[in-house]
Amino acid sequence: MVKVGIIGSTGYVGAELIRLLLNHKKVELSAISSNSFEGQHIENIYGNLKKALSLKCTAAEEVVSSSDVIFTALPHGLSEEIAEKCFQENKVCIDLGADFRLQDENEYSKWYGKAFSKPHIHPLSVYGLPELNRNKIKSSHIIANPGCYPTSIELALMPALKEKFIDTDGIIIDSKSGTTGAGRGLSQTTHFPECNENILPYKINEHRHLPEIQQILSEMAGTCIKVTFVPHLLPVNRGILSTIYCSLNGAQHADKIYEIYKKYYEKESFVRVLNVGETASIRNVKYSNFCDISLHMQDESNRLIIVSAIDNMVKGAAGQAIQNMNIVLGFDEKDGLEFIPPAF
Amino acid sequence: MVKVGIIGSTGYVGAELIRLLLNHKKVELSAISSNSFEGQHIENIYGNLKKALSLKCTAAEEVVSSSDVIFTALPHGLSEEIAEKCFQENKVCIDLGADFRLQDENEYSKWYGKAFSKPHIHPLSVYGLPELNRNKIKSSHIIANPGCYPTSIELALMPALKEKFIDTDGIIIDSKSGTTGAGRGLSQTTHFPECNENILPYKINEHRHLPEIQQILSEMAGTCIKVTFVPHLLPVNRGILSTIYCSLNGAQHADKIYEIYKKYYEKESFVRVLNVGETASIRNVKYSNFCDISLHMQDESNRLIIVSAIDNMVKGAAGQAIQNMNIVLGFDEKDGLEFIPPAF
Amino acid sequence: MVKVGIIGSTGYVGAELIRLLLNHKKVELSAISSNSFEGQHIENIYGNLKKALSLKCTAAEEVVSSSDVIFTALPHGLSEEIAEKCFQENKVCIDLGADFRLQDENEYSKWYGKAFSKPHIHPLSVYGLPELNRNKIKSSHIIANPGCYPTSIELALMPALKEKFIDTDGIIIDSKSGTTGAGRGLSQTTHFPECNENILPYKINEHRHLPEIQQILSEMAGTCIKVTFVPHLLPVNRGILSTIYCSLNGAQHADKIYEIYKKYYEKESFVRVLNVGETASIRNVKYSNFCDISLHMQDESNRLIIVSAIDNMVKGAAGQAIQNMNIVLGFDEKDGLEFIPPAF
Amino acid sequence: MVKVGIIGSTGYVGAELIRLLLNHKKVELSAISSNSFEGQHIENIYGNLKKALSLKCTAAEEVVSSSDVIFTALPHGLSEEIAEKCFQENKVCIDLGADFRLQDENEYSKWYGKAFSKPHIHPLSVYGLPELNRNKIKSSHIIANPGCYPTSIELALMPALKEKFIDTDGIIIDSKSGTTGAGRGLSQTTHFPECNENILPYKINEHRHLPEIQQILSEMAGTCIKVTFVPHLLPVNRGILSTIYCSLNGAQHADKIYEIYKKYYEKESFVRVLNVGETASIRNVKYSNFCDISLHMQDESNRLIIVSAIDNMVKGAAGQAIQNMNIVLGFDEKDGLEFIPPAF
C-alpha cells in the first residue's frame, strides 16, 4: 500500500480528496493536516466521514514525513516549500493550488502579486493534464494539478488546436461554475439567499485562471493565444460548463470534425465526445471524473461551438490529482476513479 | 404624507421594509440608518434599489428626529432606548427585534442573557399581531412586531385555542423556514454548498422564538401552554411552513372545525383558510402578506393537523410591521400591502 | 376604468399578467379565457390568487367582446384571427405570442412551419419594444410583444448599434434563462430532478427567437446582422442573463462608451445602465420590469462585453405588455409597474 | 461472477441500481428490461452511463432467464408473477415495489385497490430490512425491499420500540423527501417552477407507506401501533429526513437512551447514531447507504425527538436492495456499498 497524505485537508478540495482516496484500493491515507483544525478529528469537521475515517488533523511536516505521495491543497504561495522538501526526500508532490501552474514568473507575479519563492524547482514540475502531458507526468515528482476552469477549456480545445482547424484569434469562453469552486470560505456571493435564484458573471477578464488557460492553449497551438474568458457563478453545488465559441479555418464538414475529436480521445478513459445532436451538461458528469464534450456547428457560418462539462471537484480538482497519482505510481489510470456519475 | 424611518436598514428586514414602504402611497421614507454602512448610499449596498431610492445611511438619532414612525430592525437589546425616545417625543416605534416581545423579564433574561434596560416602558408596548391585538395596537406607541415562526404558529392555532376545541397539552410544531430568516450575516449553515440540497433541523427545543410562542398561545387559551417546537432550515430563500399536530377535545366534525376557522378569519384581509382538500404551501404566499392555513383530520383518531404558510420576510416581518403602522395611523390595513403573490 | 381581458390566462404568461394587472389602478380585469380550464375559477387553478380574484375562465370571444384591451398569450398561429377581430372592433390587441414578431412571412414559415393566416393585418402591427418603437406603439392597435430573450439582447445592443461603434459581424450571445420561460407544460428537461443542479445549453443556433433577434438588430443597425445565439436552461424560476460579446470599431475609451449608454437610456424608466465595476445579475431585477445593463472592456483588445438581465416573465413578457398598454392608452408608462425588485 | 438483472431498469430506481451494481466487483449485470424503451441502448436514455454500460433494454422474460438475481422495480401489481417464476427457477427476486411489503391482504386491497394475484407465494417472502430481518433474508428467495419513508422511520424507532422505553401511542412522524422519490414520471408538483422555492405537505395520513410503517413498527413493539404520518416534498433531488416525536415511558436519562441506541447499532455497517449535540441531516448521507440517527430530549418533558436521514435512492431503495443481495449471496454486506457520502 502506498502511503498518501493531504496538506490542507479541511478545505473543500481536501475533503473531496479524502472521499476519493478512501475509495482507492491501492493507497492508504496516512496523515492529513489543517491549519484551522489541527488536533481535531476530521469526522467532527465533516460529518459525512463518520464511520469512514477518524484521523486527527496534524501538522504539514508530519504529513510529508509519513507519506510517499503528498497532495497540497493550499492558498497560493504555500506549496513551493513543501514541494521542495518532497523533492529532496524523493517523494511525489501533487499541488492542487496555483504555485506551479504558470511557467513564466513575470506572469505569476502579475496575477498573484509575488515572485516564485523557490524558482529553481519550477523547471522540475509538470502541468498535470494527463491527456496532454501523460508521459512527462510519469517521471515527474512535482505535479501542478490544473485549475478547474482550465481543465474544462483545455480538453475542449485540444483536438482543434493540435489539428489546427480553428482560428487561434478571437476565441470566446463563457464558463459557468458551481459554488464549491469558491471553497469553504464564506462570502456574500455564496451566501445562500444571494446566490440562490441568480447567476452572476464575475471577474470578467480578470480571473486568475486566464493566464493558465492562455499558456496551455498557446502551447497546444504552437502560437500565442489570447482569449476572452467570462466565468459565471451558478446556483448549483458542483460542475463547470464551458460554452466555447471559435471560428473554423475555412469550410469544414461537421462529420470530419466529429471524427477528429472522437479519434483524438478514443483511448482516453475520462473524456467522452458526445454524438451529433447530443449536448454536454453538468448533470451527466457530476460526482465523476468524466469530461463530456459536444460539438455544434452552424450551417451558414464557419462558427464552431464547443460545450464541455466536468465536475469541478473531481476532474477539475481531486479526481484529476488522483489520476495524476495513478500515472506517477504506474497504476491503472482508472484506479479509484471508476464510479459512475449518478443520473440525478 | 407621514414620515417614516428605519433604524438598521441594511439587514435583510431593513431591506425588505424599504422595498415595501416604497410601494406605500401614504408614507414617505425620510431617513434610514445603518451601523455598518453609515454614510453610504443604500443603492450601492442593495443593487435592486437602483433608480428607486438613493438615500444615504445616516445615524439612528437622525432617523428618530426626522420621522413620525420609526421601524427598528436591530439585534436584541438595542431597541429599548430608541423606543423610549420615540415615546417621549410622541412618535411611534415599531420594533422588529425581540426586545418587547416577552412580557416576563425573567423569561427574557433566561433566553437573551440580559435584563430589560428600560423596564418602565415595557408595559406601554403591545404585541403586534393584528389579528389578536388590533384594538390595543391602535392606541399604542411601542409595538413589538412578532417573530416569524410565532406569526405562522399563532395564527394557525388561534381559533382552536380561543374556541377551546383542542387539548392544550402535547402540541407539536414542526416548522420549516427559508434562509432569509437567518439574515444577511454569513455562517457555515447558510453557505450555499452546505445549505443547498439539504434540510437541517436546528436549535431543537432551544430556539428563542419558543418562549414567545408559549406566551401568546397561553394568552389565547387562558392557560399555561408548553409546546414542542422544532425549526428546520430549508434550501429556499423565503417562507415558513409550520406543520402543527394537536389533539381534539373529543370527537368533532371536520365540517364544524372548518366553519369555525372560516368564520374566525372571514373579516381578516391577510388570512386565508383553505378549503377541504387543499394544502397550504410556501409557494402561494411568497412575496405577499398572506398567511394560508389548511386543516387536516384523521378519521380514526382525534388528531388535528394544521398547516400554515407565510412569507417570513413579509407577514413574518416587514409586511406585518407595515400592517401595524397602518392600524396605528388609521389607514386601511391593506394600504401598501395589496400585492398578489406570484404564482412562481 | 379601462376594461382588459386575457386570452390564454392559465399559462404562465397569463398568470403573470393577472398578477400585474390586479396591481394596476387604472384598469379592470373584465374577462379571462382558457382552453384547458374553461368554466373553472382561476383561484382553483392558481392558489396564489385566492382572495384576490375569483373570475371564471370563459371563452375567447367573450374576452374580446367585454374588453377594450385584449392580451393574447397563446401558442403561435392562434392570435392572428383574434387580432383581426380586435382591429375590426377598434380594440387593442397585445399579442404575447410569436404571430406578429416577424415581418418577413418567409422567415416566419421557415421557423414556424406555416404561413401567415391573416397577412393583410401584419402591416398594421408594431413590434412592442417601447425603448425602440414608443411613438409607433402609441397609435397601433396590434402590438407584437417581444420575446424574452430578444428583449434582453436588443436593449443591451441598441445604443452600440444605433451609435455604430461596434462591428456588426461576429456578435456572440450566450443567454441563460430561468425555467418559467418554458411555461406550465411538463417536460423531462423541466422535471425537477433533471433540471436542478444542472445547466443545459439547448436549441443551439436553432431557437425560434433567433430570427426575431436578427430582424430587430438589423433594423437598429441599418444593415443585415447575423448573430450566434446559444440559450441555456438555468435551475432558477425567473430571469434571463445575456452575456454578449462584440468587437469595437477601432479603439474606444471606456468612459465614452459608458457615457453613450447612460445618455441613451437616461429618460427610460425601466433600463438601468450600471456603473463601472458593477455587473448585471438576475437577482437585482427579478419580479420587476427593470432591465439592467453592465459594460465590460478588455484593456488589451477591442472586445466589448455587455451583460444584461431581465425578469423573463415581467420585462420579458407580462410587464412589457402592460408597459405597451400604458403607452397605447396614454397612461404614465410606469403605472402598475413601479414595484421594486426584492433584494432576495 | 453472479449474474444479476433488472426488470424496470429505466425508472429512477432502475437507473440507480445500474449505477451501484456497476460498482460491485462480484456481480455482473447480465440483462435489463424496460417497457417504455425496449430495444434501446440504456446509454441513450441515461447519458450518465456513456462509456460505462451499453446494454440494450430487453424483455422481462429475458432478464429472468439470464440472471441469478433479479431486481424488480415496477409499479405495484406487476412483480408477483415474476417473483413466482424466479422462485420456481430457484432464483432470487428482490422486489423494490410494493407487492410483497404488506402481509395482510385486506390491508393491501384497501391501499392498492386490488387483491394479491399470487397469494400462495406471499408467505415465502421476507421484509428486507437487514437490521431487522437479517437471518430470515439469508434463506429467502423473495425479498420485499422496504419503502423509502418506512426505512428512515423504522430504523429510527427500532431500538426504542424493541427496548420498550417509549409510549406506542401518539407517535408523530413529520417526513421530508427529495423529488427523486416521485420518480421519472412528470407531474405538476415536480415541475421545476412549482417545486422549486417551495415545500409541500402531501397525502397527509393517506400515503401508501403508512400501512407498511404501522405493520413493521407493530411487529417491533409486539403490539398494534397507529401513527400520524405527514410527508412533505422538498426542493432537493435526494434524501429523506424524518423528524419523529414520541413520549418516553416515564423519566429516562438521556445518557441511557444514547447508550441503548449506540449499542443497538454498534455492529451495523450502515447505521450511524450521532453524538449528543449532533443533528442528522440529508447532507451527510446523500449518495451513500448510511442512515444517520440523532436523539433529542427536552429537560422538562418526557418528549423524545428522533431525527433520521437517508438517501431515498440508496438506503431507501437501490442500496438497500444490494445490501439484501449481499446477504442472500453470502457476500460481505458492504460489498459495492462502501462509497463515502460527498461533503457537498
Do residues A172 and A282 share a domain? yes
Q: Give the tens place of pLDDT for each residue, B72-89.
A: 999 999 999 999 999 999
Which chain C positions have a beta carbon within 8 Å of D235's beta carbon?
A: 192, 196
Chain-centroid distance, C-alpha A48 = 23
pLDDT tens track for D284-326: 999 999 999 999 997 667 999 999 999 999 999 999 999 999 9
Are residues D344 and B204, on separate chains, in Cβ contact within 8 Å? Answer: no
Residue B334 lies in a domain: no
pLDDT at D279 exceeding the cut of 90? yes
The CA-based angle A288-A292-A298, given to 5 degrees, is 160
Using CB atoms, which residue from C52, C237, C278 is nearest to B340? C52
Contact C199 A300 (CB under 8 A): no
Of B155, B197, B202, B198, which Cα lies nearest the Cα of B174? B202
pLDDT in tens, C155-172: 999 999 999 999 999 999
B340 within a domain of the structure (yes/no): no
pLDDT band at D248 (very low <50, low <70, confident <90, very high): very high
> Phi-psi category of B199—alpha, beta or left, where left has phi over 0 and alpha has psi -120 to 50?
beta
Q: Closest-CA residue in chain B for D284?
A: B198
**Measured distance CA(A109)–CA(A104) in Å, rounded:** 9
DSSP string, A208-234: THHHHHHHHHHHHHTS----EEEEEE-
What average pLDDT does the structure give for chain B?
97
Single-letter amino acid code for the residue at A72 = T
pLDDT at B303: 94
d(CA C134, CA D172): 61
Cα angle: D152, vertex D157, D160; to 5 degrees: 160
- Cα dihedral B323, B329, B333, B336 in deg (nearest 10): -70
pLDDT at res. C251: 82
Give the Cα separation of C216 and B105 in Å (integer): 67
Q: How many beta-carbon pairs below 8 A join chains B and C? A: 97
- Give the D window 290-309 contacts with C, CB below 8 Å: none
User: Which residues constitute the domain of residue A302?
Assistant: 149-312
* C213 within domain boundaries: yes
Chains near D, with 3+ CB pairs < 8 A?
A, B, C
Question: Quick one: cell of B250?
Answer: 373529543
In this predicted model, what pLDDT tens digit does every residue of D196-243 receive, in sequence order? 999 999 999 899 999 999 999 999 999 999 999 999 999 999 999 999
For B12, list phi and psi in degrees, rounded to 5: -65, -40
Q: Which of helix, strand or coil describes residue B226?
A: coil
What secondary structure letter does DSSP report for D191?
Answer: B
Q: Which pLDDT tens digit goes with each residue over D169-201?
A: 999 999 999 999 999 999 999 999 999 999 999
Q: Which of B148, B195, B246, B291 is catalytic?
A: B148
User: Do both B139 and B161 map to the same domain?
Assistant: no
- pLDDT for D198 equals 98
| CA-closest candidate to residue C290, choices C300, C298, C299, C280 | C280
Residue B336 lies in a domain: no
Interface test with B, best of C44, C48, C179 (most B CBs within 10 A): C48
Torsion of Cα atoms, C147 then C153 then C155 then C161, to 10°: -130
Q: What is the pLDDT of residue B209?
A: 97
**Max Cα separation, chain A?**
63
pLDDT for residue D252 is more than 90: no
- Tell whether D244 is covered by a domain: yes
pLDDT of residue A2: 98
Q: Residue A30 CA to chain centroid, in angstroms?
A: 24
Dihedral sign, CA of C96, C98, C101, C103? negative
All 3 cell numbers of residue D252?
429516562
List CB contacts (< 8 A) between B230 and chain D: 243, 305
Q: What CATH number is given to the structural domain containing D168? A: 3.30.360.10
Q: Are residues D117 and D231 in the same domain?
A: no
Higher pLDDT, B130 or D252: B130
What is the Cα–Cα distance from A134 to C129, expressed in whole angstroms?
A: 55
Same domain, A15 and A115: yes
Closest by CA to A282, choosing from A152, A132, A129, A150, is A152
At A148 the pLDDT is 98
Task: Locate A85 and state its grid cell.
Answer: 522538501
Catalytic residue selected from A57, A86, A93, A148 = A148
0.90 surpassed by complex ipTM: yes
> Which among B127, B121, B125 is positioned nearest to B141, based on CA atoms?
B125
Q: Which residues contact D70 (CB under 8 A, 6 or more apart)?
A: D4, D5, D6, D7, D63, D64, D82, D86, D91, D92, D93, D94
Same domain, D221 and D291: yes
Question: Is residue D71 one of the residues assigned to a domain?
Answer: yes
* Residue D5: half-sphere exposure toward Cβ, Cα within 13 Å: 25
For residue A75, what is the DSSP state? Answer: S
Check whether residue A202 and residue A60 sit in a common domain.
no
* Residues A13 and A129 reside in one and the same domain: yes
Picking from A50, A238, A292, A315 by the largest number of D CB atoms within 10 A of its own CB, the best residue to mutate is: A50
Amino acid identity, position B94 = I
In this predicted model, what pLDDT tens digit does every residue of C234-259 receive, in sequence order?
Answer: 999 999 999 999 999 988 888 999 99
- The answer to whether the Cβ–Cβ distance between B187 and A186 falls below 8 Å is yes
| Domain assignment of residue D67, yes or no | yes
Bridge-based pairing state of the strands A303-310 and A291-297: antiparallel
* Opening angle at CA B67, ends B64 and B69, nearest 5: 95
3-state secondary structure of A147: coil
Please choose, from the candidates A168, A148, A147, the residue with its C-alpha nearest in 3D space to the C-alpha of residue A157. Answer: A168
For residue B274, list chain C residues with Cβ-Cβ distance below 8 A: 47, 50
Residue for grid cell 466555447: A244
Q: How far apart are alpha carbons D33 and D16 in whole angstroms?
A: 14
- pLDDT beyond 70 at B118: yes
Q: Say if residue C165 is in the same domain as residue C99.
A: no
Three cell numbers, residue B206: 432551544
Contact (CB, 8 A) for A78 and A96: no
> Closest residue of C to A311, CA-based?
C198
**Strand order through the sheet with B240-247:** B200-201, B228-233, B172-177, B240-247, B303-310, B291-297, B271-273
Give residue for cell 504506474. A330
Task: Verify whether the Cβ–Cβ distance C198 to A226 is below 8 Å.
Answer: no
Domain contains C336: no
Please answer yes or no on whether D188 and C190 come within 8 Å at the CB atom: no
pLDDT of residue B30: 97
Determine contact: A184 vs chain B, CB below 8 A.
Answer: yes
Within 8 A by CB and 6+ apart from C86, the residues are: C64, C70, C92, C93, C141, C142
With a cut of 50, which residues of chain C have pLDDT below it? none
Q: Are D328 and D140 in contact (CB under 8 A)?
A: yes
Taking every pair of Cα atoms in chain B, the longest distance, rounded to a whole number of angstroms, is: 63
Residues in chain B: 344
Q: Which of D199, D258, D215 is nearest to D103 (CA)?
A: D215
Q: Examine the domain organization and report whether A96 and A179 are in the same domain.
A: no
D173, D156: one domain: yes
DSSP strand E in chain C: where? Answer: 2-7, 27-33, 57-58, 69-72, 92-95, 125-127, 142-144, 171-177, 200-201, 227-233, 240-247, 271-273, 291-297, 303-310
In chain D, the percentage of residues whose pLDDT exceeds 70 is 99
- Best D32, D43, D48, D275 member to test A by mutation, with max A CBs in 10 Å, is D48
Using CB atoms, list chains with 3+ pairs below 8 Å to chain B. Answer: A, C, D
Confidence (pLDDT) at A299: 67
Angstrom distance (rounded) from CA D57 to CA B234 = 39
Do A4 and D332 contact (CB within 8 A), yes or no? no
A315 touching D (Cβ < 8 Å): no
Taking the CA of residue A122 and the nearest CA in chain D, the distance in Å comes to: 33
For chain D, the C-alpha Rg in angstroms (whole number) is 20
Q: How many domains does chain C have?
A: 2
CB spacing of A340 vs D19 below 8 angstroms: yes
Tell me, yes or no, whether C301 and C218 share the same domain.
Answer: yes
D164 pLDDT higher than 80: yes
B291 among known catalytic residues: no
**Which residues are paired to A164 by β-bridges?**
none
CA pair distance B63, B30, nearest whole angstrom:
8
What is the number of alpha carbons within 13 Å of residue C177 lying toward its C-beta? Answer: 28
Q: Among all residues of chain B, which has the CA nearest to that of C181? A: B344
Q: Flag whether pLDDT at B299 surpasses 80.
A: no
Q: What is the dihedral of CA D213, D215, D220, D226, to 10 degrees?
A: 70
Residues of chain A with pLDDT under 70: 299-300
Q: Which amino acid is at D120?
A: H
B chain contacts of residue A44, beta-carbon cutoff 8 Å? none
D51 in the same domain as D170: no
In the sheet with B142-144, reading across from the earlier edge strand, the strands are B57-58, B27-33, B2-7, B69-72, B92-95, B142-144, B125-127
Domain CATH number, residue A113: 3.40.50.720
Residue C166 near residue C304, CB atoms below 8 Å: yes
